[in-house]
Amino acid sequence: MSAKIHIFTEKDIEEFVIFRELSKDESEYLNGATVETAETILAEYVAANNKYAFLASKNSKIVGQLFLTVHKHKLFINLISILISEQGTGLAKQLFEKAFEIAKSKDVFEIELIVHEDNTRAINFYKKMGFSFKERYKKSKKLTYTKILKAVSKEDLSYQSKLMKW
């Protein structure tokens, strides 16, 4: 059974808190959430016209999350995670397909994300999805991976290199 991907709304707050608590217990890379935190996250994404928050649900339970920001011709995957029980089910690919759909609708040239260098399972998945290593993030254990979506002209390359610095 594939998950239902939907926009994060107020009706998801309680399930989102449960999901984040489960995620926190499963991963050293994620934090839990309180109702107040969830409401703040939701308000931030609703208020911005360049941010997108999606949740993946199965049997009315949240099993994954995807948070995106679009800036000019670049999409940044702020957060993508799924429960361990959902790994290997195609859910991460479903969430990436949602990100690619948004990228296409917003005329994005490049998608970028940051991952912890120890998260080899995620890194291998990102590579499988067509992402390649770009750089180490500010002398930390975080790595930037990127996927170029469009071939661009020399003029666009100059513009694109400026975008990469935002």
With vertex at residue 48, the alpha carbon angle to CA 47 and CA 49, rounded to the nearest 5 degrees, is 120
Region of poorest pLDDT, from 24-33, 87-96, 132-141 = 24-33
Residue 161 — very low, low, confident or very high, per pLDDT cuts 50/70/90? low
The closest of 100, 62, 64 to 79, measured between CA atoms, is 64
Q: Where are the beta strands (DSSP E) in the chain?
A: 4-7, 51-58, 61-71, 74-82, 110-116, 132-136, 142-148
Res. 30: pLDDT tops 90: no
Beta bridge partners of 154: none
Residue 166 — very low, low, confident or very high, per pLDDT cuts 50/70/90? very low
Residues 6+ apart with CB under 8 A from 154: none
163 or 120: whose pLDDT is higher?
120
Predicted model pTM: 0.86
Residue 23 — very low, low, confident or very high, per pLDDT cuts 50/70/90? confident
DSSP 58-88: ETTEEEEEEEEEEETTEEEEEEEEE-GGGTT
CATH class of the domain whose range is 4-163: alpha beta
Q: Where are the domains of the chain?
A: 4-163
Give me the percent of the chain exceeding a pLDDT of 90.
Answer: 71
User: Which tens digit of pLDDT belongs to each residue from 47-103?
Assistant: 999 999 999 999 999 999 999 999 988 999 999 999 999 999 999 999 999 999 999
Three-state SS for 90?
Answer: coil
CB atoms under 10 Å from CB of 89, counted, come to 17
In terms of phi and psi (left: phi > 0; alpha: psi -120 to 50; beta: otherwise), the region of 141 is: alpha
Distance CA 75, CA 68 (A): 7
Mean of all residue pLDDT scores within the chain: 88
